[in-house]
């Protein structure tokens, strides 16, 4: 799997993260009230704020994808934010567990799994493949 991911550049991985996260962010912004009703949990304002933060993160990643120097400079920060976002989402999922509906579980699970997966893929794409011990 790692060799498959290494076929892609870090820029391509970042752009795929943007294409995965932007629709979810826009859905949370545009339909915060119905999502809050169907998902349960904290309420419409929470989902709206999460959508705005996700959209800002997507804009930031788009800028990093286009600028090689920024990508190299903020690479570790990008991964740290992905992991932090996933851990915060996991904590909130546990906190709001009694009031979540099935859609809420799906939204929180996506906000845990997708950032962790993207952080791992960014790390793999930027790493060098190990050389065999003997040639």
Q: Is the pLDDT of residue 119 over 80?
A: yes
Q: Which residues of 76-85 are buried (b: 16+ CB within 10 A; e: fewer)?
A: eebbebbeeb
Provide mean pLDDT across the span 42-69. Answer: 92
- Model pTM? 0.84
Give the pLDDT score at 131.
Answer: 60
Residues 36/49, Cβ–Cβ less than 8 Å: no
Q: What is the mean pLDDT of the chain?
A: 89
Q: Is pLDDT above 90 for 48?
A: yes
pLDDT at 86 over 90: yes
More confident residue, 92 or 126: 92
Q: pLDDT at position 9, please?
A: 85
> What pLDDT is recorded for position 10?
86
pLDDT attached to residue 27: 94
- pLDDT digits over 18-34, tens only? 998 999 999 999 999 99
CA–CA distance, 44 with 51 (Å, rounded to integer): 11
Is the distance from CB of 115 to CB of 83 less than 8 angstroms?
yes
The SS3 assignment for 40 reads strand
């Amino acid at each position: 799997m790692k060799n498959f991911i290494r076929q892609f550049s870090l820029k391509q991985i970042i752009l795929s993260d943007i294409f995965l996260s932007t629709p979810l962010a826009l859905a949370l912004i545009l339909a915060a009230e119905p999502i809050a009703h169907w998902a349960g949990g904290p309420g419409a304002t929470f989902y709206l704020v999460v959508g705005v933060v996700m959209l800002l993160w997507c804009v930031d990643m788009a800028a990093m994808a286009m600028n090689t120097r920024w990508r190299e400079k903020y690479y570790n920060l990008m991964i740290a934010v992905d992991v932090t976002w996933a851990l915060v989402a996991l904590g909130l999922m546990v906190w709001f567990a009694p009031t979540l509906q099935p859609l809420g579980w799906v939204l929180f699970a996506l906000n845990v799994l997708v950032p962790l997966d993207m952080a791992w893929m960014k790390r793999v794409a930027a790493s060098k493949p190990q050389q065999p011990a003997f040639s």
